[in-house]
Chains A and B, each alone.
Chain A
Amino acid sequence: APLQSQPQVRVTFPGELVSSISDDELAESYLERFGYISKRSRSNTHVSISKALLQMQKKLGLNETGELDQSTMEAMKTPRCGVPDVGN
């Protein structure tokens, strides 16, 4: 181990997909991609997102809070199959 800690340098690596979108935007994109909300109904209203979140949480066996909590966010970041969960 180094005797004294050195200041950590953080580098922006070229070509890396640095996520600049917020958790809310990520969640909406996820819910739309996997069929929980349709493009038409994506109106950024809290009510429709909450309903879709509930549906997703139920489908994936998560705590049904209707909120974008930590376990729901983690689930959305877990590698998965690209086939939608709802609809065709």
Chain B
Amino acid sequence: FQTFEGDLKWDHNDITYRVLNYSPDLDGDIIEDAFRRAFKVWSDVSPLTFTQIYSGEADIMILFGSDDHGDPYPFDGKDGLLAHAYPPGEGVQGDAHFDDDEFWTLGTGVVVKTRFGNANGAVCQFPFKFNGRSYSSCTSEGRTDGLLWCSTTTDYDKDKKYGFCPSELLYTYGGNSDGDKCVFPFIFDGESYDACTKEGRSDGYRWCATTDNFDKDKKYGFCPNRDTAVIGGNSQGDPCVFPFVFLEKTYNSCTSNGRDDRRLWCATTSNYDTDRKWGFCPDQGYSLFLVAAHEFGHAIGLEHSTVRDALMYPMYSYIEDFQLHSDDIEGVQYLYGSGTGPHPSPPMPTTESPDVSDKTTTTVTTSPTTTTEVVPVDPTTDACKVKAFDAITEIEGQLHFFKDGKYWKASSARPGAIKGPLKISDTWPALPSVIDTAFEDLLTKKIFFFSGRRFWVYTGTTVLGPRGLEKLGIGKDVEKIVGSLQRGRGKVLLFNGDKYWRLDVKTQVVDKGYPRDTEDAFAGVPINAHDVFLYKENIHFCKDQFYWRMTPRRQVDQVGYVKYDILNCP
């Protein structure tokens, strides 16, 4: 392995990263997951941690761009240079850039994540069978609205599992329209457009207006690439048009005719001979995960390795079951040490452990040679010493923080003033000590408490319950409800991590069509959040001592500490 001259490295281990934009080739969730996994490659073998932030300057800023993309090192079109990254430091240092003239996949061809349908966002399975015919790409067959769909199993006829494919007719990404679909035709600069366009931009990204008049409304988004979008040529990102005419012959699929390099291409209008618009058909593409893991190696201080099988070797090659090479591990550990590995375990006390059933322990070493003394600490006397609360919710305008039979109240009008601890049993005698989530129904002022598979409803001092979750229509496989979110008009969303339900508070039954996948509707928050609550109109997802704040338009705009930023602890 090699390090940069002067052993450039970060002076802190808690590295932050921010994804500035996304490639049209892959769904945003898949891109973020690839980056998460790429960082994990390094955090598993070092003391480094990587946390995604959504605003401000991160240590590692990640962007997709092509050709001249804002630094002195332009990319070079398809193939050739795939990405580059800078060694640790301020400003552009530490940043990673990916060439968006490449076709980004997970290394084995187009990845089409579906939306809507009945497959919970699963990816398309190609080829799939529909009405006895085999399909190798998304199709609008069987529909009258022209929307592209695919089967998420190999046999739609048998399994009936499907979802809709990326299309500007369904949604956009980025821009300022919160994912709204394109509106066609739309007016831009006085001209009418019937399709996504690159006009008005110098970066080659295809966009559309999400109202009928961009000049007036200024609302826009970027068009996701269809699974048949071409790479390179003179129509990057435009979909193939089938059938197309080439040298007076009609083609219904990609062809290598006209070329002597056997590469498949298609026309992006119905007639190549007249329009001469074309591009290469999607190939295996490059694994964003593998390339990102390599670039992040640079971003933490590693240069290119001379070991051919090492991740830090400069040439790209696809590996199905990736494992970090010992040369890479030696490199990162040379800079940062070995860390605790992927599954750190708590330190073992050297004397007999006291009863820690309801307390955590602090280990105090009085001198290097004496026996270690274990001092129990009860964090529940001070809200600022609680690492993670069981539940947080707003009741009668005050935030309530629940933990192990106690709770605290904090007024948003007087930041820093915390009242408590108070005993849960003094205020709500029927409740158990651990509350998973709670919410106040804004219409009736009833307070719902959830613990395990049971729930209680308090109206003043009158209580109903406990009753089982099955009464709400929630299946027996659900262990508990960890979060709740008032949605107005007597509806509340109930979360158990990766799934959520919509509860009709009046009928006390969840609505049809639920559960749904949390990550589909609330992108960018941890799906294993242990608490979800509404505060000042924003949605908060908690994990450990952190929270992810999501605006009513479902954009994560802040990640912070519950203790410092919500409780206002010193």
Which A residues have a C-beta under 8 Å from some C-beta of B?
A: 8-11, 13-17, 34, 58-61, 75, 78-83, 85, 88
Contacts and interface: CB of A to CB of B under 8 A. Distances in A.
B416 interface: no
A54 to B, nearest CB: 14
A30 B135 CA distance: 42
A11 B79 CA distance: 21
B314 interface: yes
A88 B5 contact: yes
Given A8-B260, A14-B234, 18 more contacts: A10-B259, A11-B259, A13-B259, A59-B306, A60-B306, A60-B314, A78-B315, A78-B316, A80-B316, A81-B294, A81-B298, A82-B73, A82-B75, A82-B82, A83-B84, A83-B304, A83-B314, A85-B304
B81 A80 contact: yes
B298 A83 contact: yes
B421 interface: no
A88 to B, nearest CB: 6
B75 A9 contact: no
Nearest to B73: A82
A81 B258 contact: no
A79 B286 contact: yes
- For the complex of A and B, 3 pairs with smallest distance between CB atoms: A15-B234, A82-B84, A11-B258
Nearest to A35: B304
B524 to A, nearest CB: 28
Contacts of B303: 83
Given A15-B233, A61-B306, A81-B84, A10 B314 contact: no
B376 to A, nearest CB: 52
Contacts of B278: 13-14
A58 to B, nearest CB: 8
A79 B82 CA distance: 7
A80 B304 CA distance: 11
Nearest to A78: B315
A59 B75 CA distance: 23
Contact of A13 (B5, B82, B265, B316): B265
Given A9-B257, A10-B259, A11-B259, A17 B77 contact: yes
Contact of B315 (A13, A58, A60): A60
A88 B5 CA distance: 8
A81 B314 contact: yes
Q: Which among A16, A34, A61 has the greatest number of chain B C-beta atoms within 10 A?
A: A16
Given A10-B258, A13-B278, A59-B306, A83 B233 contact: no
A17 B82 CA distance: 17
Given A60-B314, A79-B315, A16 B233 contact: yes
A2 to B, nearest CB: 12
Interface in B75-99: 75, 77, 79-85
B234 A81 contact: no
A7 to B, nearest CB: 12
A81 to B, nearest CB: 5
A80 B260 contact: no
Contacts, number: 80
Contact of A82 (B4, B81, B247, B308): B81
Q: Which among A14, A58, A82 has the greatest number of chain B C-beta atoms within 10 A?
A: A82
Contacts of B85: 83
Interface in B224-240: 232-234
A9 B258 CA distance: 5
A74 B247 CA distance: 33
Contacts of A75: 315
B103 to A, nearest CB: 11
B259 A82 contact: no
Contacts of B5: 88
Contacts of B294: 81
B281 to A, nearest CB: 13
A88 B73 CA distance: 13
Contacts of A15: 232-234
B276 interface: yes
A25 to B, nearest CB: 15
Contacts of A59: 304, 306
Contacts of A83: 84-85, 298, 303-304, 314
Contacts of A13: 233-234, 258-259, 265, 278
A78 B326 CA distance: 24
A75 B303 CA distance: 19
B295 interface: yes
A83 B313 CA distance: 11
21 contacts: A9-B247, A11-B259, A13-B233, A13-B278, A14-B276, A15-B232, A16-B232, A58-B306, A59-B304, A59-B306, A60-B314, A75-B315, A78-B315, A79-B81, A79-B82, A79-B316, A80-B314, A81-B294, A81-B314, A82-B75, A85-B314
Contact of B79 (A58, A79, A81, A82): A79
